[in-house]
Structure 1
Amino acid sequence: MWIVELSFTDAPERLAARPAHREKLTDLHEKGVVRMAGPLADDSGAVLVFDVPDRAALDQLLAEDPYFSTKGVRVERLREWQPFIR
């Protein structure tokens, strides 16, 4: 699994792109690819957990969603995660 940490600014482009992004994440969640996703309580960023086999698969998913390169959204960190409880 992979944890993606985002940071946000108040750029209006981010808010405009968010509905389509959430729709895409919901679809990926239904397919078991996104395990969890959501904004931090203060809306300064978000955390997403992807269940994909490797970094290449994660990079492809991030490239397919324009939200991750939208003004006001920054991918701060990508971390491989190995949970022992699922």
Structure 2
Amino acid sequence: MDEISGIIFAEIAGKGTKSGGYKYYLQPLDDHANRWSKILVRKQTHLWENDPVLHKINAKKMLIFGEIIETRSKNNLDYEFVIRLD
């Protein structure tokens, strides 16, 4: 399990469609910031639903535990749990 600190933020995706909703990203503040400017955090709900854990801590500094899935073109984070730092 990986541990990353950063700031979570949300972007609207699929606006105007039935599956429109938020995508959550992590802007890393630790050594992961040298490799990635933002990491997609996979939410644990349907596309059109807000993630109850991530939506509460939007624009906050946090520590997230989970598994990083890295490919050539993108990187994702499947989170297990989140701790707010500020």
* TM-score, normalising length: structure 2: 0.26
Comparing both structures, which one devotes a greater share of its residues to strand?
2
Comparing both structures, which one devotes a greater share of its residues to helix?
1
Q: Which of 1 and 2 has higher RCO (CA within 8 Å, sep 6+)?
A: 1
* TM-score, normalising length: structure 1: 0.26
